[in-house]
Structure 1
C-alpha cells in the first residue's frame, strides 16, 4: 500500500538521502543496538543468548514506525521532511526485514571473514532480488491491462487484478525466501506509475479509495493486535519473579534505540548537506531532530521479528525468550504512546504552522493521482510536464555539478528512457490506450494528466 501511495517524484529526488538513512543508517543502528545489548545483557540474568540472538535484537529494534509523525506532517508544507521521514521508514522496514532474514540463514556462533562476506552477499542478494521481483511483477500487471483484453471495461476485474498482482508479488517473494515487504513496496511504485494510468477512470477512483482504506484498516488492526497481545498473561508470568530485570531490559533497549538513531541521523544529514548547494534542499537541525524523533517509535515490524526469533522454542518455556518478548511489547507500547503523544506539540514548536497557506496546497489536489484526496502521489503541477519532457534539465557542466546534483541528472536520463521505451510498452500517463466507450476516453484531456 505504501508503495502505491508514495509521492514518487519527491521520493526519487531525495533518493540518495533516503537510502543513506534507510539502508546505511539502519545498519549503523543495528550494530550499535547489538553491541550495546551484548555488553549489558551479558551482565544480567536473562537467560542464554548467542551472537545470533544479539544481532537479531539489533535488527528487531532498528525497525522504525513513523506512522504518527506522517499523520501530523503535511507534505505540501514540508515536502523535503515528509519525503525523508516516509522514505526512510519504508526503506528501514525493508532493510530490517532483509537483515533479519540474513541473520536467520547463517550460523553466526563462529564469525570469520568468510562468514562475514557470505552474510554481506546474502544481504545484498535479498535486497536486490526483492526489489527486482517487485518491479517485474508491477510491469507484468501493467502489460496485462494495457496489451491484453483481460478485464477491460470492468471496474471489478481491473481493481481485482491490481490487488491480486500486488498480492502475487508478496507470495512470490515468500516462495523464493525474499523480502515480501520490499517486493510489495516496489511493485506498488511501478503499478502507480504504469498500471494505474491504464485502467478506466472509475477503476482509478475505486483503487484510490480502496487502497487507502485497506492501508488504514491494516495499520489499525496491527495496533489492536499488539494491544491485545500485551494482555496475554501467560508470557508475563515468567518475568513476574524479577520485574526489575524486565524493566531494566526495556529501559536499556529504549536507550540503545535513541543512541542508535542519533548515531546516524545527524552525521548522515551532515554528509547529505555537503552534496547540496541550495539551502532549501539542505536538512536543517530542526528537521534532523524531527527525523530522529520520528524513528524512535517501534511498531508491527519489531513485534513480528521478535516473535519470529524468540518464540521458535516457545516463549512459555524459556525465560530469556519471555523477557525479550515482553520487553519488545513494552518498548513498542511505551514508544508509540509516549513519543506519539509528544510528536504533534514537538512539531508545532520546531516547525510553526505558516500563517498563509502555500499556493501548492491548491495545485496539488490533482484528481488523477491515486491518493490525491489526502496525499498527492505525483506532487507539483509541474510533474506532468516533467514526465512528458516539457521541462528539460540541463546537463551537468562539470564533475562537481554531477556530484552535487546526481538525482537531477539521473531523473533526466530516466525520463528520456521512460518516454522512449517503457511507457509505449507498459502505458502510463500520456500513453493511455484507446478503449472505445471507456470513461477515460470521454475526456481526451485526461490522457495528458
Structure 2
C-alpha cells in the first residue's frame, strides 16, 4: 500500500505508517464496545418484556380471584347461604391459589443467568457490579430458598403480601369510605368511650401481652425451644404491634350484619384510632433503650418523650385530615367546578387520597388523617357538590371499598403459602394466642365497667363480649 506525501493527522507519512495499526485497533475496540452495549440493551429489553408478561399474569391471578369471589358471593346471596362470610371465602380462594403457586408451578430457569461467589458479612441493599468497565446497579430482593431456583423465588416474591401496596393503595379507600359514610352523630356521641378504648386500652393490651409473652419466651428458653436473646422490650414491641385491632375485618363483617350503630361506632372508632397509639408505642419502646446499652432497661425521660410524640402524631393527623377536607370544601364552594361533574369528582377523589399519602410522608398516621378527612368531606364538601358528583363519589368509594376489602383477604390467603420465610414454633403461637386473648380482656372489661359509671347509655355485657372477640383477630 502506498501513501501520498500529504501529512496524516498532522504527522509525516513515515510516522503515520506506524500509527495506522494503532488507529485500526482503537476503532475495532470501540466498535466492539458499541456492539456489547447494543447487545446489553437487547438483553435488557427482552428481560423487561418477560418481566412485564409475568407481572401481567400475576395480576390476572388476583383479578380472577376477585371475579370468582364476586360470583360466589352472588350465589351465596341468591341461595341465602349464611354459614360463610365473603371475607372468609376470599381468603379460602387465596389459600388454594397459594398452594398451587407454591407446589404446582415451576418457572423455567433462564439460560443467561450467571452465578458468582463473593464473601461478604451482610447482604447489601444495593450492589454495583463492574462488567468490562461498565457499572450496573442491582437491588436486593431476598434470599433464595434452598433447593429452588431463584426464578421460583421471584414468582412467589411478586405475589407475596407487600405492606406498601396494602397501606398506600388498598387501605386508604376503605378508611375514607368508612368516614365518608359514617353516622357521625353516633360516632361523636361515643367519642369519650372510643378514645378510652383506643388510647388507654391499647396501652393496657400492649403491656399485658408483653408481660405474658416474656413469661412464655422465658419458659421456652428453659425447655430449649428458643435460642438467642429475647428481651422484655422485644416482648413489649410484639405487644404494641398486635394490640392494634384491624379495621378492615371489622368494617367488612359489621356492614354485612347491620349491627347496632353504637357498637359499630365503638369498635370502628377504636380500631382506627389505636393505629396511632400502636405506632407511637412501638417507636417509644425503642426509645426506652439507652444508646449503647444492652441492658434493655427503661429511661424515665422516654415516657414524657413518647407522650409528646403521641400528642404530636395524633393531633397532626387529625389537623391534616380536617384541613384537607376544608380546603376541598372551599374549592368546590367558590368555584364553578359543579358545572363539570367529572372534574369535580376527580378533584374530590385526588384530594381525599392525597390526605393519606401526605400524612405518611410527614411522619403522621394516614389512617387517622384519611378518616377525619372523610368525615369532613361528608359534612362540608358533600353539600357543595353537584347532584351528579354526589352520586358518583358515593358509588366510587363504595366500589373501591368492596374491591379493596376482598382483594386484601385474597392477598392474605395467598401469602400464607407464598411467603418464603415462615418460622413455625407451636409453643410461641400458643403463647401469642393466650396473650392476645388475655390482653384484650384486660382492655375491654375493666374499661367498660369504668365507662358505664358515667354513661347514660350503658355498654351492655353482650356488646362487651362482641368487642372482646372482635378485637382478637
User: Which of 349, 371, 380 is the matching residue for 1:194?
Assistant: 380
Counterparts in 2 of 1:217 and 1:49: CA distance versus 1, 3 Å: farther
| Residue 100 of structure 1, CA deviation | 3.2
Q: Which residue of 1 aligns with 2:442?
A: 263
Q: Which residue of 2 aligns with 1:295?
A: 471
User: Which of 74, 90, 113 is the matching residue for 2:272?
Assistant: 90
Q: Which residue of 2 aligns with 1:124?
A: 311
Q: State whether structure 2 residue 113 is matched by structure 1 residue 113.
A: no
Q: State whether structure 2 residue 413 is matched by structure 1 residue 227.
A: yes
Q: Which residue of 2 aligns with 1:211?
A: 397
Q: State whether structure 2 residue 247 is matched by structure 1 residue 71.
A: no
Does the residue aligned with 2:421 lie in a helix, a strand or coil?
helix
Kindly indicate whether the alpha-carbon contact (under 8 Å) linking 1:69 and 1:294 is maintained by their aligned counterparts in 2: no
* Inter-partner Cα distance in structure 2 for 1:167 and 1:104: 31
Q: Which residue of 2 aligns with 1:99?
A: 281
Displaced runs of 4 or more, over 4 A: 101-108
Does the residue aligned with 2:305 lie in a helix, a strand or coil?
helix
Kindly indicate whether the alpha-carbon contact (under 8 Å) linking 2:341 and 2:389 is maintained by their aligned counterparts in 1: yes
Structure 1 spans left out of the alignment, 5+ residues: 298-449
Kindly indicate whether the alpha-carbon contact (under 8 Å) linking 2:276 and 2:310 is maintained by their aligned counterparts in 1: no
* Inter-partner Cα distance in structure 2 for 1:47 and 1:195: 55
- TM-score, normalised via structure 2 length: 0.57
Does the residue aligned with 1:231 lie in a helix, a strand or coil?
helix
* Inter-partner Cα distance in structure 2 for 1:177 and 1:104: 17
Kindly indicate whether the alpha-carbon contact (under 8 Å) linking 1:18 and 1:88 is maintained by their aligned counterparts in 2: yes
* Inter-partner Cα distance in structure 2 for 1:188 and 1:101: 27
- TM-score, normalised via structure 1 length: 0.59
Provide Cα deviations, 1:300-322, integer angstroms capped at 9, x if missing partner.
xxxxxxxxxxxxxxxxxxxxxxx
| Residue 19 of structure 1, CA deviation | 1.1
* Inter-partner Cα distance in structure 1 for 2:327 and 2:269: 25
| Residues paired across the two proteins, number | 284
Kindly indicate whether the alpha-carbon contact (under 8 Å) linking 1:56 and 1:103 is maintained by their aligned counterparts in 2: yes
Q: Which residue of 2 aligns with 1:42?
A: 218
Q: Which residue of 2 aligns with 1:165?
A: 351
Does the residue aligned with 2:198 lie in a helix, a strand or coil?
helix
Counterparts in 2 of 1:21 and 1:69: CA distance versus 1, 3 Å: farther
| Residue 106 of structure 1, CA deviation | 6.3
Kindly indicate whether the alpha-carbon contact (under 8 Å) linking 2:252 and 2:405 is maintained by their aligned counterparts in 1: no
Provide Cα deviations, 1:386-436, integer angstroms capped at 9, x if missing partner.
xxxxxxxxxxxxxxxxxxxxxxxxxxxxxxxxxxxxxxxxxxxxxxxxxxx
Kindly indicate whether the alpha-carbon contact (under 8 Å) linking 1:102 and 1:123 is maintained by their aligned counterparts in 2: no
Does the residue aligned with 1:146 lie in a helix, a strand or coil?
helix
Kindly indicate whether the alpha-carbon contact (under 8 Å) linking 2:280 and 2:306 is maintained by their aligned counterparts in 1: no
Does the residue aligned with 2:436 lie in a helix, a strand or coil?
helix
| Residue 85 of structure 1, CA deviation | 2.0
* Inter-partner Cα distance in structure 2 for 1:37 and 1:166: 40
Q: How does 1:341-356 map to 2 (within 5 A)?
A: none
User: Which of 341, 356, 362 is the matching residue for 1:155?
Assistant: 341
| Residue 41 of structure 1, CA deviation | 1.6
Does the residue aligned with 2:258 lie in a helix, a strand or coil?
coil
Structure 2 spans left out of the alignment, 5+ residues: 1-175, 221-225, 291-295
Counterparts in 2 of 1:47 and 1:159: CA distance versus 1, 3 Å: farther
Kindly indicate whether the alpha-carbon contact (under 8 Å) linking 1:145 and 1:199 is maintained by their aligned counterparts in 2: yes
* Inter-partner Cα distance in structure 2 for 1:206 and 1:68: 22
User: Which of 130, 134, 145 is the matching residue for 2:332?
Assistant: 145
Q: What is the root-mean-square deviation in Å for CA atoms of aligned residues?
A: 2.0
Does the residue aligned with 1:251 lie in a helix, a strand or coil?
helix
* Inter-partner Cα distance in structure 2 for 1:61 and 1:6: 26
Provide Cα deviations, 1:30-77, integer angstroms capped at 9, x if missing partner.
1111222222223321543345432321121112132454135424xx
Q: Which residue of 1 aligns with 2:238?
A: 57
Counterparts in 2 of 1:141 and 1:99: CA distance versus 1, 3 Å: farther
Counterparts in 2 of 1:94 and 1:216: CA distance versus 1, 3 Å: farther
Q: State whether structure 2 residue 431 is matched by structure 1 residue 247.
A: no
* Inter-partner Cα distance in structure 1 for 2:232 and 2:362: 26
Kindly indicate whether the alpha-carbon contact (under 8 Å) linking 1:29 and 1:264 is maintained by their aligned counterparts in 2: yes
Kindly indicate whether the alpha-carbon contact (under 8 Å) linking 1:11 and 1:87 is maintained by their aligned counterparts in 2: yes
